[in-house]
């Protein structure tokens, strides 16, 4: 029988498991950069109850040299040293160290290892839809904690949809004044003040995560139509195959998609686009602004292409990199360098790959979010209480793990792949407990695919499920209410 792998997810690029005694955590001291010290102290306290005093034993430092976000971790009975090539790398080394802590008789210990680690992809994201159900700042913080612990470095916030507009803008006050109070199925809405948003961005940054904000358009804009009716088309209801029919002028609390659109031939629309993205650019330190572009079923292809050209140019003119769902790749006037987000299937069934290649053809790169593998809002099992099933039915952990980014879009070279993102749409997700129930453990699969080398002795489903099972006690100690999927041999 193969030895049980250490419970490391994502699995490191290189690891050398050594023989010999383990490092004893009780009585150990810590010498570290302040941010890394805080991160390790709270991780150790949560997992073991131990308090790490200043002193000898564990040394955490940043030392320039290696690739971005990389680190080296050496653990022996005599001491532990984690060296990051940058602050992010050190932070990831600390997460790996947290996963290595284990019970050893009546003490807490770290096994002797040497890890040399760096990410495969620069963009390792998760998304949270705060439009279908609003999620408050503490919930977003908790989501950031969870994602950052798995070396995820992007938080994509889906800030607007038919059901609500969730960010206060000084230039367009009616958006939150009239279009933020409601959510799906009569749930309470809400919005972020600019200070709330800044607080989220800062909290993400302190966890080495970049926020990618999205205002979805030209479709998914029924909420905009409540605030600024002059720039919106009437709902096109004959495209609705499922979900409640929207009523012009009334908040939408159903879950249908594709029926709304901004007026594409009206300059007032582009004044709106400029206002909202200019203000968003000011509030957002990261390089990407996402303008949506998905499921504009009521808009002709010509009109859609016209809108995409204009909106992407607005964002590029602001000095930001536009980002959009893959449909926008059909528009020949797309701003050069726009990043595309592929949400077709692992084995594509439609024009999605062609659209994704459209971004690369214009010098942009692609983030892969294949819906039947990484859509965290899909049910994990047929009988799961929460979640959707449109992406090939329930998505098992095994299916979430068993795909290779370079094999999804034919003709897209690996250097045109910016990374991987796992979105959580929230039609069925109202609370942090709901988030945990759908996100875990599948977020671990997305994180490993985004971080770890494509191949390796431990890059197998059998190893992965064992390692995920070994993380159960850590997740429990961090307050994550993950579902105990039968696919995983959970350690108790
Ligand atoms: C499709 S994926 C959507 C969303 C829904 C999601 C539910 C994408 C770009 N659009 O509007 O919330 O499915 O899974």
By the 8 A CB rule, do 262 and 272 touch?
yes
Shortest-distance Cα residue to atom 6 of ligand 1: 425
Pocket test residue of 156, 295, 352, 423 for ligand 1, highest count of atoms within 8 A of CB: 295
Ligand 1 centroid to 206 CA: how many Å? 29
pLDDT at position 2 is 65
312-368 pLDDT, tens digit per residue, is 999 999 999 999 999 999 999 999 999 999 999 999 999 999 999 999 999 999 999
Atom of ligand 1 nearest to the CA of 295: 10
Q: Are strands 366-368 and 339-342 parallel, antiparallel or unpaired?
A: parallel
Q: Is the pLDDT of residue 281 over 70?
A: yes
254-264 pLDDT, tens digit per residue, is 999 999 999 99
364-416 pLDDT, tens digit per residue, is 999 999 999 999 999 999 999 999 999 999 999 999 999 999 999 999 999 99
Domains of the chain: 14-117 (3.30.379.10), 123-455 (3.20.20.80)
**Structure confidence at residue 492 as a pLDDT band (50, 70, 90):** confident
Ligand 1 centroid to 282 CA: how many Å? 27
Ligand 1 centroid to 101 CA: how many Å? 38
Ligand 1 centroid to 425 CA: how many Å? 7
Pocket test residue of 162, 257, 378, 388 for ligand 1, highest count of atoms within 8 A of CB: 257
Shortest-distance Cα residue to atom 8 of ligand 1: 294
By the 8 A CB rule, do 18 and 114 touch?
yes
Give residue for tokens 């600019």.
Answer: 194
What's the full length of the chain, in residues?
492
37-76 pLDDT, tens digit per residue, is 999 999 999 999 999 999 999 999 999 989 999 999 999 9
Q: Is the pLDDT of residue 229 over 80?
A: yes
Cα distance between residue 58 and residue 371, in whole Å: 42
Shortest-distance Cα residue to atom 7 of ligand 1: 425
Tell me the catalytic residues.
295
pLDDT at position 3 is 78
Pocket test residue of 185, 219, 291, 294 for ligand 1, highest count of atoms within 8 A of CB: 294
243-252 pLDDT, tens digit per residue, is 999 999 999 9
Query: Model's pTM, two decimal places?
Result: 0.98
Q: Is the pLDDT of residue 1 over 60?
A: no
Atom of ligand 1 nearest to the CA of 257: 11
- Average pLDDT across the chain, whole number: 97
List residues bridging with 322 in a β-sheet: 289
Q: Is the pLDDT of residue 140 over 90?
A: yes
Ligand 1 centroid to 39 CA: how many Å? 34
By the 8 A CB rule, do 389 and 480 touch?
no
Helix 301-317 × helix 267-283 angle, to 10°: 40
Ligand 1 centroid to 91 CA: how many Å? 32
User: What count of other Cβ atoms lies within 10 Å of the Cβ of residue 336?
Assistant: 13
Atom of ligand 1 nearest to the CA of 132: 12
């Amino acid at each position: 029988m193969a030895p049980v792998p250490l419970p490391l997810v994502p699995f490191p690029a290189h690891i050398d498991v050594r023989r010999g005694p383990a490092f004893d955590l009780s009585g150990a001291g810590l010498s570290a950069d302040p941010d890394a010290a805080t991160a390790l102290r709270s991780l150790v306290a949560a997992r073991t109850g131990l308090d790490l005093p200043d002193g000898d034993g564990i040394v955490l430092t940043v030392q320039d040299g290696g690739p971005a976000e990389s680190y080296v971790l050496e653990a022996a009975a005599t001491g532990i040293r984690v060296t990051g090539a940058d602050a992010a790398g050190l932070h990831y080394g600390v997460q790996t160290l947290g996963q290595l802590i284990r019970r050893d008789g009546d003490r807490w210990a770290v096994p002797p290892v040497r890890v040399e680690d760096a990410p495969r992809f620069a963009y390792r994201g998760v998304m949270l839809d705060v439009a279908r159900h609003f999620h408050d700042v503490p919930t977003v913080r908790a989501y950031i904690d969870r994602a950052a612990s798995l070396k995820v470095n992007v938080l994509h916030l889906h800030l607007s949809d038919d059901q609500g507009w969730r960010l206060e803008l000084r230039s367009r006050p009616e958006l939150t004044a009239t279009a933020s109070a409601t959510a799906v199925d009569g749930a309470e809405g809400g919005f972020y003040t600019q200070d709330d948003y800044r607080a989220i961005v800062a909290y993400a940054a302190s966890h080495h995560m970049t926020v990618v904000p999205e205002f979805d358009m030209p479709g998914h804009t029924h909420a905009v139509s409540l605030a600024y009716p002059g720039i919106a088309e009437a709902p096109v209801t004959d495209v609705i195959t499922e979900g409640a029919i929207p009523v012009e002028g009334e908040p939408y609390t159903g879950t249908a998609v594709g029926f709304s659109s901004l007026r594409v031939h009206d300059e007032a629309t582009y004044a709106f686009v400029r206002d909202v993205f200019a203000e968003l650019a000011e509030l957002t330190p990261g390089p990407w602004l996402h303008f949506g572009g998905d499921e504009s079923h009521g808009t002709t292809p010509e009109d859609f292409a016209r809108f995409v050209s204009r909106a992407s140019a607005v964002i590029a003119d602001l000095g930001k990199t536009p980002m959009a769902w893959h449909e926008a790749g059909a528009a020949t006037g797309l701003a050069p360098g726009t990043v595309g987000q592929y949400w077709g299937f692992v084995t594509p069934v439609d024009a999605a790959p062609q659209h994704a290649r459209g971004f690369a053809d214009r010098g942009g790169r692609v983030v892969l979010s294949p819906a039947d593998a990484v859509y965290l809002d899909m049910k994990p099992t047929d009988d799961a209480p929460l979640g959707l099933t449109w992406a090939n039915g329930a998505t098992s952990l095994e299916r979430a793990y068993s795909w290779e980014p370079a094999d999804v879009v034919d003709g897209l070279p690996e250097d045109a792949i910016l990374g991987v993102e796992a979105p959580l749409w929230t039609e069925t997700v109202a609370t942090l407990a709901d988030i945990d129930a759908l996100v875990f453990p599948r977020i671990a699969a997305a994180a490993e695919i985004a971080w770890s080398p494509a191949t390796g002795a431990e890059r197998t489903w059998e190893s992965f499920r064992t390692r995920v099972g070994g993380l159960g006690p850590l997740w429990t100690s961090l307050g994550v209410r993950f579902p105990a999927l039968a696919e995983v041999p959970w350690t108790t």
